[in-house]
Amino acid sequence: MKRFGSILMAAVLSVGLLVGCGTSSSGNADKTPEEWTSLYSTAITENGGEMVEYNPVMTEVDEENALDTMVLETLGLTEEDMTAYAISISMMNTQAYGIAAVMPAEGKEETVVTGLQTYIDRQKQSFETYLPDQKEQADNAKLETLSNGTVLLVMCEDQGTVFENIKAAIEG
């Protein structure tokens, strides 16, 4: 009888979870975080241009790799702010380059957008009197929340085209 009760309780909890996983306001219930991460990584790798070769896409933080932690700190984000993400940014102060696709954790969209906007603003300021071509890239950075809830940042050469191609790949 105990076993039957346990099975029944598990079934009730499973149904409850399924009901809770209906379409969300951000439209992201159709994919798992792993699927979003894979989609983001592929979209950036295939559409991000030459700089992705030099700045590999990061999809998780290796706590033993200080650079991973620095990337998130540079963007003003923590892993708790994101359900899924793929990020390719230059940590060199000679490049205004960054591409990030982020599915914010519940209630963290404003945090993610603010962090990424602050990153753009710091890049603009950094190149104010240094490397005018990089300042222009920072000035033209695109930051947008897509229809499925993804927050997409593109700051690179030919960012308009890169942005549209990554957006199309993510939105399908």
Confidence of residue 42 (pLDDT cuts 50, 70, 90): very high
Indicate if 21 and 64 belong to the same structural domain: no
The parent domain of residue 108 ranges over: 31-171
pLDDT tens track for 82-114: 999 999 999 988 999 999 999 999 999 999 999
Express each pLDDT in 115-131 by its tens digit. 999 999 999 999 998 89
Same domain, 72 and 113: yes
Residue 161 has pLDDT above 90, yes or no: yes
* β-sheet with 142-145: strand ranges across: 82-89, 98-104, 151-155, 142-145
pTM (2 decimals)?
0.81
Residues 73, 103, single domain; the answer is yes
Q: 90-129 b/e with 16+ CB inside 10 Å = b?
A: beeeebbbbbbbbbbbeebbebbbebbeebbeebbeebee
